[in-house]
A and B are shown apart, each in its own frame.
Chain A
Amino acid sequence: DQQVKQNSPSLSVQEGRISILNCDYTNSMFDYFLWYKKYPAEGPTFLISISSIKDKNEDGRFTVFLNKSAKHLSLHIVPSQPGDSAVYFCAASEGQNFVFGPGTRLSVLP
């Protein structure tokens, strides 16, 4: 049973435009959420996180939005750059137990 879902396996965006990656979860006990970025042949790298007490967290070009009532979070990348092309994993946690989504492959086209 998938507790963390990323329903779009892939996404293509033009360079300079906004990329929006979505993530849904089912467990209302999750209280911390993270996004990871993964290049081919490398491990996932931490990108940005948000606690359930917030609804937005921003770090440079990356912003994560959390809608607790909808059990939905999204990652916005503005402006998108070709180097952002990677697989993005959403993860949710309750305490030390982290659950990862299947990932969305983002392709930023020059």
Chain B
Amino acid sequence: DTAVSQTPKYLVTQMGNDKSIKCEQNLGHDTMYWYKQDSKKFLKIMFSYNNKELIINETVPNRFSPKSPDKAHLNLHINSLELGDSAVYFCASSQTGYNGYTFGSGTRLTVV
């Protein structure tokens, strides 16, 4: 009954590959997010999405694209993976008007 679940937890892949990370939330929240935790442990917003609006952090390369089949899912697709994409990626969700986020447990992506 995990509230925000991400799969896979670990992903090792070669440069140039295309991969996806899935995220699902069962909280009924209206907004979902993807964060990247960089080497200095900062959590940086990549995307936020609700059923009305996708907000993209302009610093995110267009090789990264979110796909939301419904409001409970926000998947992250990454094309042509690069070494610098190696990081931990966190999915999160929130409900407009309420405090805080609920985070997934993270996906550690390693590009070799």
Chain A residue with the shortest CB-CB distance to B45: A98
Q: Does A49 contact B (CB under 8 A)?
A: yes
Q: Which of A92-110 contact B (CB under 8 A)?
A: 96-103
A45 to B99, CA, bound (A): 12
Task: Output the least CB separation between A32 and chain B (Å).
Answer: 9
Chain B interface residue bracket vs A? 20 to 34
- Binding-face segment, A15-23, A36-44, A61-69, A76-84: A36-44
A99 to B55, CA, bound (A): 15
A100 to B61, CA, bound (A): 20
Give chain B residues whose Cβ lies under 8 Å from the Cβ of A2. 42
Known: A89-B43, A96-B48, A101-B42. A46 touches B100 (CB 8 A): yes
Interface size of A in residues (CB-CB distance below 8 Å) = 21
A60 to B45, CA, bound (A): 30
Known: A34-B100, A46-B99, A49-B99. A41 touches B41 (CB 8 A): no
Task: Output the least CB separation between B56 and chain A (Å).
Answer: 12
Q: Which residues of A contact B (CB under 8 A)?
A: 2, 34, 36, 41-46, 49, 87, 89, 91, 96-103
Q: Which residues of B contact A (CB under 8 A)?
A: 4, 31, 35, 40-45, 48, 55, 90, 92, 99-106
Instruction: Give 18 pairs: A residue, B residue, CB < 8 Å, sorted on A.
Output: A36-B100, A42-B106, A43-B90, A43-B103, A44-B90, A44-B103, A46-B100, A49-B99, A89-B43, A91-B43, A96-B48, A96-B55, A98-B45, A100-B43, A101-B42, A102-B41, A102-B42, A103-B41
